Structure 1
């Protein structure tokens, strides 16, 4: 087998899904299925034995579900894993937790747990396998810690300010290092654009809300921005901002994708820059592509501050790299130092 061929292990309890995944992957000249497992436990054993470059992992399986399999593989033989998830609230919750425990990315089955239309997302799957094969597995095993001593707020922050965060592949892990470390009392709204389909953004918001001092929720249409609240852009909608007097409201937009994604950070950043001018602290985190770079340019134009996540903690150094290469970044920091810098830039100590 050629050195440049991506070796893939398929873990799925559905015979139909195993067949479809194998057929899609093996039609590629740069990929090879080197093993198939029917349960999570068998998947862990084959991950150790076969040492694949990438694993596709079903969420719900007998013996050991996808989340528990991810945890064990990350302990025993760290490997880039792509979760294959159906859109149920249970599966989306498990998928989000798997991403926070080391899985690189996920792909959504178009319909149901055994999707007869899975071939419609074949191109997306192949793109994600190729991207995952380039990820350094050691970055997937670093434990995200919530610092016991959070940044101190010396006084209520004055003036109309906002925090903006853009993230994609690897984003849930970086958000886990940032949002729970933002202390209550920052007195500004936080808007997060994470590239994810509908349903998964709600699960992400709910999980972050459980472990954070700030209120974290999925953004709704025509909702007034409140301080000490984090708004996650809902999947498949651009999240816009509009001012009405001194108040700022959200709006959901179904216009064309930007940078091939919806929600797009550039859409949100652009609106925010027009309203908040220089009173913005924006962070561009791990992810493929360049979403956030054009928006960062506009924020910089008005005098706002830009933080780019360092390659040290990025799962994919794409979006932050685009910001750094254009010289828009005021700070380049690992994800575990970003919350402290945000508070400092807002006016805390």
Structure 2
């Protein structure tokens, strides 16, 4: 279901999605109230939901949509203003699965191939991941019985996941990578270990620049931890949390005996900037076996190569399991590659991290 007050944007999004052989647009609506009236008859798996609409806006409609069925996943769509970024963050905390950033004008929406590709890709991947979790299948085309392997990019935990021994060295730093579903997962993860956190935490979350500072502020307020969007030249401190800013890779270097954050705009990796791989590489190089890498929910495979380098340096990697992930792409790729010492539900990861940092993990 596509919900947007602009007839032009609504029509474009519906056409783009309908042109994909794996997607059927079951309904469109011009505001939240109309969307709610159409839910029962349309029975959508995914709702693409605009934020700013008359009669009933997206933030008001969101909890009502989720109340209708806990199987519906909502993809928020908003222009990249500071206000909309804050609203999108609230929507994620209320249960939206992800967001997509709309260009600011209708003309830009019409001509933006990147917006089109991101939108369709997220809809398809969210549906594929949910169906995998439910043991279902995603089929090619409407009414077809042939499985479309092209739209099942995420691995499944039904394969064998190898477990590695943990490092014999105690961690001195924690690196975290996340993407789709990451803001919610990060909040639960940090809250579960905030009282015993004694190490610096570096986070790379796939987000545009308008969002990352708001994410850092949100995490700081919700956890009480000293959390900030990283700045070039920041010296890392024990118990502090640093979030990579949008459009910048975040790495750590040794300068004068101090561990310093450096930001750069090198080429995107895995189509991402910030990306997890550069951060993990720098941590492996600087801390060797004393790195603890954590991969949370997310689309794609960013963090896979960096996790390999952490393991090659003698460090430890743990990942979120499929059942608790919005999309098991990133943690699944690392798990299936046999790089993890543990693959756990989100609710158990914080406690495991604390055990590892205290030398009490088995």
Which residue of structure 2 lines up, in the alignment, with residue 250 of structure 1? 261
Alpha-carbon distance in 2 for matches of 1:24, 1:312: 30
C-alpha contact 2:126 2:326 (8 A) present in aligned 1: no
Structure 1 residue 215 and structure 2 residue 226: aligned? yes
Which residue of structure 1 lines up, in the alignment, with residue 13 of structure 2? 21
Name stretches of at least 5 consecutive residues in structure 1 with no aligned partner. 1-8, 140-157
Which residue of structure 2 lines up, in the alignment, with residue 188 of structure 1? 199
Compute the displacement of 1:27 (Å): 3.2
Which of 8, 29, 43 is 1:37 aligned to? 29
Alpha-carbon distance in 2 for matches of 1:318, 1:48: 31
Which of 59, 68, 74 is 1:67 aligned to? 59
CA shift in 2, pair 1:348/1:214, >3 Å: farther
**Deviation >6 Å, runs of 4+:** none
| Larger RCO, structures 1/2 (Cα 8 Å, 6+ apart) | 2
Trace 1:144-183 onto structure 2 (pairs within 5 A): 161-183=172-194
TM-score by length of 2: 0.83
C-alpha contact 2:176 2:296 (8 A) present in aligned 1: yes
CA shift in 2, pair 1:257/1:45, >3 Å: same
Alpha-carbon distance in 1 for matches of 2:175, 2:37: 42
C-alpha contact 1:240 1:252 (8 A) present in aligned 2: yes
Alpha-carbon distance in 2 for matches of 1:166, 1:246: 26
Which residue of structure 2 lines up, in the alignment, with residue 93 of structure 1? 86
Which residue of structure 2 lines up, in the alignment, with residue 47 of structure 1? 39
Which of 81, 95, 106 is 1:102 aligned to? 95
Which residue of structure 1 lines up, in the alignment, with residue 148 of structure 2? none
Deviations 1:37-80 (A, max 9, x none): 12222222322331112211001223433223222211212312
C-alpha contact 2:26 2:42 (8 A) present in aligned 1: yes
Stretch of structure 1 that moved more, 323-332 or 62-71: 62-71
Which residue of structure 2 lines up, in the alignment, with residue 134 of structure 1? 128
Which residue of structure 2 lines up, in the alignment, with residue 294 of structure 1? 305
Which residue of structure 1 lines up, in the alignment, with residue 116 of structure 2? 122
Name stretches of at least 5 consecutive residues in structure 2 with no aligned partner. 134-168
C-alpha contact 1:167 1:194 (8 A) present in aligned 2: yes
C-alpha contact 2:171 2:291 (8 A) present in aligned 1: no
Which residue of structure 1 lines up, in the alignment, with residue 160 of structure 2? none
Structure 1 residue 237 and structure 2 residue 228: aligned? no
C-alpha contact 1:81 1:132 (8 A) present in aligned 2: no
Deviations 1:140-180 (A, max 9, x none): xxxxxxxxxxxxxxxxxx98811111011111121121012
Deviations 1:12-48 (A, max 9, x none): 1222322322232333343332212122222223223
Q: How many residues are matched?
A: 322
Which residue of structure 2 lines up, in the alignment, with residue 145 of structure 1? none
- Superposition RMSD in Å: 2.2
CA shift in 2, pair 1:13/1:310, >3 Å: same
Alpha-carbon distance in 2 for matches of 1:287, 1:256: 20
Which residue of structure 2 lines up, in the alignment, with residue 146 of structure 1? none
Which residue of structure 2 lines up, in the alignment, with residue 321 of structure 1? 332
Structure 1 residue 276 and structure 2 residue 287: aligned? yes
TM-score by length of 1: 0.86
Alpha-carbon distance in 2 for matches of 1:43, 1:284: 35
Compute the displacement of 1:187 (Å): 2.6
C-alpha contact 1:182 1:213 (8 A) present in aligned 2: no
Which residue of structure 1 lines up, in the alignment, with residue 73 of structure 2? 80
C-alpha contact 1:184 1:214 (8 A) present in aligned 2: no
Compute the displacement of 1:116 (Å): 2.1
SS in 2 for 1:55: strand
Alpha-carbon distance in 2 for matches of 1:75, 1:137: 20
